Amino acid sequence: PLLCCSFNLKSLFSSPLSIPQQHLSVAIDEALYFVSVAEVEGVLGGVVEWEMAGIASEEPGTGRSLERISSGQQRCQSGEALAEWRSSEQVENGTPSTSPPYWDTDDDDDCGPKPSELYGKYTWKIDKFSQINKRELRSNAFEVGGYKWYILIYPQGCDVCNHLSLFLCVANHDKLLPGWSHFAQFTIAVVNKDPKKSKYSDTLHRFWKKEHDWGWKKFMELSKVLEGFIDDDTLIIKAQVQVIRERADNPFRCLDCQYRRELVRVYLTNVEQICRRFVEERRGKLGKLIEDKARWSSFCAFWVGVDQNARRRMSREKTDAILKVVVKHFFIEKEVTSTLVMDSLYSGLKALEG
């Protein structure tokens, strides 16, 4: 139901399950609450594997510190319409949204800072770019989410040739308290004179002592930098940073609403695939349960005889445990789409509660 409300995937539930309509809600309750604890965890908490199809990637995000690969994906703009939408100002100018209820709100269930208060932008204009002879160049520090950051570039590449390398870094990381950790989603763009050709990359990363910088060694080829990205010998780099406060017990809001509207246009297909596969797998398990006629008949007889208030009480007793399992298995720390999935679950939950 959370996925249904969030992404309008009601069609997933529309095909017949070969059971009487009056027992459909009973089947869902059975699948979620009344099997056994082990079976509940198997239905909702089993390891879900899905393919993130549709994201073209030159190279995943990498941290210079450990020289290792992250599953945050770098995406190349291939669709002109998508690139035009993303580079336009319609999001910033407040174009009316057609999103489902609760999707564009910035509310949260606790008293901490809202995602909009943990989101920020920074523009770095590098003048006389052709005259730079330094191996690396860093921007001024800027603050987002209570933390200070800076952008680091290697005009001739970091451990690679013929590429512009680009990273987001935590400022003064060596002066922070032991055990510090910043979790953030960020987008970096190199701006082209033709907005539809600007280069964007997104990733999700937990910054800490040994991974205090994260980005792309091969952000783009140096030969392409000269194809409209330098205007009057000036290179413009833009960053969007969203600091994320995770919760383990309940779906939570991750993204500023405007940033979310931008990312969902890019990754909607991937998020829908994640949701669709999850729901179809669970419907398959539910179908097998119904095929066990002896067990199903026994349960139906029991369930029909239970008072409605008792049904609700028993359902509520399992809700918290189920939500924890949902968060655990949908929020994958290194998947750039995890924040959108979690925002959808949060929106769906609020819709059900409302």
pLDDT score for 307: 85
| Structural domain boundaries in the chain | 112-254, 259-351
pLDDT digits (tens, 9 = 90+) for 66-78: 332 233 333 333 3
**How far, in Å, CA of 347 to CA of 314, rounded?**
24
pLDDT digits (tens, 9 = 90+) for 186-209: 999 999 999 889 999 999 999 999
CB 20 within 8 A of CB 11: no
Phi, psi of 20 (to 5 degrees): -60, 140
Residue 109 has pLDDT above 70, yes or no: no
What percentage of the chain carries pLDDT values higher than 70? 68
At 104, is the pLDDT very low, low, confident or very high (cuts 50, 70, 90)? low
Q: Which residues have C-beta within 8 Å of that of residue 111, sequence separation ≥ 6?
A: none
Residue 95 has pLDDT above 80, yes or no: no
Q: Which residues have C-beta within 8 Å of that of residue 277, sequence separation ≥ 6?
A: 48, 50
pLDDT score for 220: 94
Parallel, antiparallel or unpaired: strands 147-154 and 234-243: unpaired
At 278, is the pLDDT very low, low, confident or very high (cuts 50, 70, 90)? confident
- The correct answer on CATH 3.40.50.150 for the domain covering 112-254 is no
**How far, in Å, CA of 312 to CA of 308, rounded?**
6
Mean pLDDT of 7-35: 38
At 63, is the pLDDT very low, low, confident or very high (cuts 50, 70, 90)? low
Lowest mean pLDDT among 44-48, 169-173, 291-295, 317-321: 44-48
At 354, is the pLDDT very low, low, confident or very high (cuts 50, 70, 90)? low
Lowest mean pLDDT among 15-29, 153-167, 206-220, 321-335: 15-29
Element (H, E) at 170: strand 163-170
pLDDT score for 350: 79
**How far, in Å, CA of 67 to CA of 69, rounded?**
7
Residue given tokens 């953030």 in the structure block: 184
pLDDT score for 71: 32
Output the pTM of the full model.
Answer: 0.73
Question: Which sign does the torsion angle of CA 340, 341, 346, 350 carry?
Answer: positive
Residue 53 has pLDDT above 60, yes or no: no
Q: Which residues have C-beta within 8 Å of that of residue 60, sequence separation ≥ 6?
A: 69, 70, 71, 72, 73, 74, 203
